[in-house]
Amino acid sequence: MRRRDFLRLTALACAGAATRAHSSTAPARPKARVVIVGGGFGGSTCALATRRLDPRIDVTLIDANYRYVTCPMSNEALVGLRTMASLSVDRAELVRAGVRFVRDRVVAVDADRRRVRTESGAAIEYDRLVVAPGIRFLWGTPQGYDESASAIMPHAWNAGAQTELLAMQLRAMRDGGIVAISVPAGLIRCPPGPYERASLIAGFIKQHKPRSKVLIFDANNHFPRQDVFTAAWKAHYGDTVEWISVLDGGAVLRVDVAQKILHTSNGGQPVAVANIIPPQAPGELAVAAGLATGHGWCPIDPATFESQLVAGIHVIGDACIADAMPKSASAACSQAVQCAAAIVATLSGRTASAPVYESVCYSMLAPDDALAIRGRFEIAGRAIRAISAPADETSQARTSSAREEVAHARAWYRDIRKTAFGA
Ligand code: FAD
């Protein structure tokens, strides 16, 4: 599926649902209130899509921050291929579209009274609530890796200050130093992200610190498009990148932050720069609101994203269990559009039509080479499963030239920012 098709499908989903919503002959009623907590890719897209589908709905978006720094393309910023400022968006376009933006943190949800409470003490009532809080980190894995350790060994798995810290450490590293990336087991946001990061750091090393190396310590025994990444590393960087699978003792068990040593079952490895990506679970609010299972993530109805655990609340983006869909910005946007259509339909006493979801993740392999991992997904029973055909649309083969794929990646980034933030 091409980038333009993704946007067309998104637009069609909005247009179709909007037609259905406005053709309603229902008598005038009080304005329905949709409250969305979390203004990342999922929440912001849902806010814009809901307003576009039915401008009569009162849409409130609550986020702790007025500015949002995108994780997509943050690996480029790490190695100086783009500025941090270029990753930053604000809420101005959302407000212009009629979304009420509240800068605050939601600390509690009262599902019986249908209202949320914020850190500043406000109580905000809703008819439908969307929770899109992204992820939280499970500190303590590896042993010794807590939030304070991330000030020395950055994770950079939320973009912003952590990205800047890791970038600064890479610039300051002596030539010959080892950069280690520790990848956790289990579900993480952006599954190809660690390997894109390794690629771009290797590119930086090739140019500025040619005697250095990148070691990927992996708690897994395979990773997405391992074939393409491995071939690209060899072609672009020779032996600079070394991947150590869990089967070869790749899982980091303990970190010695003061000495900068990573301990695995093979012993201790001193490093110059340690990028430790911790295991992940949904944002705190999902847990506080009773939306997450004991296993961690939030079960939802795959057609509406309404929680299976709490009625009237929808969970989208990284926090939800979307089965075959990866935890990516494009998946979050695709879910958000459907969630908005389902809410608008429900508020008008109708049912939204069955969706096809999409995701595309671009990984930069080098400044002039990129890989796209695309997927289309459909609902099968209570699950979301990958659609395997037709081959030309869903093929994982690299059908475009390296330079074309880089251009697609840049255009995708511009487009998805527009879809989510209007800017
Ligand atoms: P987020 O974008 O994390 O947004 C969550 C928002 O909720 C935040 O703004 C936060 O402030 C807010 N929030 C949380 N709790 C509260 C609360 N209690 N009250 C108020 N606000 C709250 N995806 C791609 O598709 N393509 C890529 O190329 C890509 N590259 C990536 C590269 C890296 C290095 C990383 C780490 C990720 C990448 N991703 C990529 C993944 C993508 O960033 C995430 O999947 C996406 O951001 C998920 O969107 P979300 O809305 O679920 O969560």
pLDDT, tens digit, 9 for 90 and up, residues 303-315: 999 999 999 999 9
State yes or no: cis peptide before 184, omega within 30 of 0.
no
CA-based radius of gyration for the chain: 22
Ligand 1 probe mutation, 119, 166, 318, most atoms within 8 A of CB: 318
Instruction: For residue 389, name the pLDDT band (cuts at 50, 70, 90).
Output: low
Residue nearest atom 46 of ligand 1, based on CA coordinates: 329
CA of 23 to the centre of ligand 1 (A): 35
CB 87 within 8 A of CB 45: no
Q: What is the pLDDT of residues 323-361, one digit of tens each?
A: 999 999 999 999 999 999 999 999 999 998 989 999 999
Using CA positions, which residue lies closest to atom 10 of ligand 1?
38
The closest-lying atom of ligand 1 relative to the alpha carbon of residue 42 is 51
Provide the b/e sequence for 318-330 (b: ≥16 CB within 10 Å). Answer: bbbbbebbbbbbb
Rounded Cα gap, residues 83 and 73, in angstroms: 10
CA–centroid distance, 70 to ligand 1, in Å, is: 7
| Nearest-atom index, ligand 1, CA of 318 | 52
Residue 249 CA: distances (Å) to CA of 29, 240, 410 = 63, 19, 36
Closest CA to 415 of 88, 6, 1, 17: 6
At residue 395, the pLDDT reads: 43
pLDDT of residue 388: 76
pLDDT given for residue 397 in this prediction:
55
Task: Report which residue type is found at 112.
Answer: D
**33-37 and 128-131 as β-strands: parallel, antiparallel, unpaired?**
parallel
Ligand 1 centroid to Cα of residue 40, in Å, is 5
Res. 10: pLDDT tops 60: no
Mean of pLDDT over the chain? 92
Cα gap 296→135, rounded to integer Å: 11
Which of 187, 378, 142, 146 is closest to 298 using CA atoms? Answer: 187
Q: Please state, for a pLDDT cut of 70, what percent of the chain lies above it.
A: 91
> Measured at the alpha carbon of residue 378, what is the angle toward residues 375 and 17, in degrees to the nearest 5?
105
Stated pTM of the model: 0.93
**Share in percent of the chain as helix, strand, coil (round to 5):** 35, 25, 40
Tokens of residue 101, six digits: 């933006």
Q: What single DSSP character describes residue 352?
A: P
Query: Could you tell me how far CA 271 lies from the centroid of its own chain?
Result: 28
Instruction: Give, in order, the Cα–Cα distances in Å from 6 to each of 149, 150, 393.
Output: 40, 36, 11
Say what angle helices 41-53 and 3-22 make with each other, to 10 degrees. 40
